A = this chain, B = another copy of it.
Amino acid sequence: MSRFDAAIQANAHPWHLVRPCDTCKVRDLSACAPLDAAEQRRLVAIMRTVDAAPRQSIFDEGEPAENVYNVTEGAVKLYKLLPDGRRQITGFLLPGDFLGLTHNEVYAYSAEALAPTRLCCFSRRKLEGLLEELPKLEQRLLGMASHELAAAHDQMLLLGRKSARERVASFILMLSDAAARHGQRANPVFLPMGRSDIADYLGLTTETVSRTLTRLKTQGLVELGGEKHIRLLKLEALAEIAGGF
């Protein structure tokens, strides 16, 4: 069995790199043609599979940026730290998402697995070499980068100008949408991360996140099933809150 087939067998194929994603509509950029079999083979040749347990670090900010990763299964958080320990989570990644892409010598953020995670790992040097020859691949990367940039702009609006209530509502809806795109249950939303990760993503404290969620519950907008599941009761109202109306 070739390396290529083995990779597919192991369900660790970098699908999202080689073709538009079936379930994640956002990334289904019609302009991007999928790679053909030969091209995929070349890509898989420079790839290896990496697994990470929850809480395991994938890489740290400031470390030499030797690899680029593509999430295949699981969930990852990206974050930056200030010297005194204050933390900002800059993103939660799901299957199909990319991390480590940079034109710097070192990583600009740290990455850590949230759940049992499987990643496709590429040597950055080799991948950059391959990019020269596979423009389709570069197109996909550019498409992904510009989507991430748009998401980053939304997050700046959230962090700079939204109230705690609006941030939490936005967050719940965002998770629900992401779940739907990944073919998972969208309504009782599953929160794979703890309160302090949510807080560090939204620029709040755990206490404020907790209080805000209980207030949304009290007001009949959501229902909390355990700590990690939220049922959205009034989608319309939540969307209005999230949008800042």
A-side interface residues toward B, CB under 8 Å? 29, 31, 78, 80, 82-84, 86-88, 90, 101-104, 108-109, 128, 131-132, 135, 138-139, 141-143, 145-150, 152-157, 159-162, 200, 202-203, 243-245
What is the distance, in angstroms, from A42's C-beta to the closest C-beta of chain B?
16
- Cα-based distance from A165 to B10 in the complex (angstroms): 51
Q: Is the CB of B88 within 8 A of A150?
A: no
Tell me which residues across on chain B come within 8 A of A103, comparing CB atoms.
29, 31, 143, 146-147
What is the distance, in angstroms, from A119's C-beta to the closest C-beta of chain B?
19
Q: Is the CB of B146 within 8 A of A146?
A: no
Residue of A101, A142, A148, A155 with highest tally of chain B CB at under 10 A:
A142
Copies of this protein in the complex: 2
What is the distance, in angstroms, from A27's C-beta to the closest C-beta of chain B?
9
Tell me which residues across on chain B come within 8 A of A84, comparing CB atoms.
244-245
What is the distance, in angstroms, from A160's C-beta to the closest C-beta of chain B?
3
User: Contact check: which of B31, B86, B90 meets A153 at CB < 8 Å?
Assistant: B90
Q: Is the CB of B152 within 8 A of A80?
A: no
Q: Is the CB of A161 within 8 A of B104?
A: no
What is the distance, in angstroms, from A33's C-beta to the closest C-beta of chain B?
10
Q: Is the CB of B244 within 8 A of A82?
A: yes
Tell me which residues across on chain B come within 8 A of A104, comparing CB atoms.
150
User: Contact check: which of B86, B141, B157, B203 meets A82 at CB < 8 Å?
Assistant: B157
- Cα-based distance from A200 to B156 in the complex (angstroms): 11
User: Contact check: which of B149, B150, B203 meets A160 at CB < 8 Å?
Assistant: B203
Q: Is the CB of B156 within 8 A of A101?
A: no
Interchain residue pairs with CB less than 8 A apart (17): A80-B154, A82-B157, A82-B162, A82-B243, A83-B244, A86-B161, A88-B161, A102-B146, A103-B147, A108-B154, A141-B142, A145-B146, A145-B149, A152-B156, A155-B156, A159-B203, A161-B203
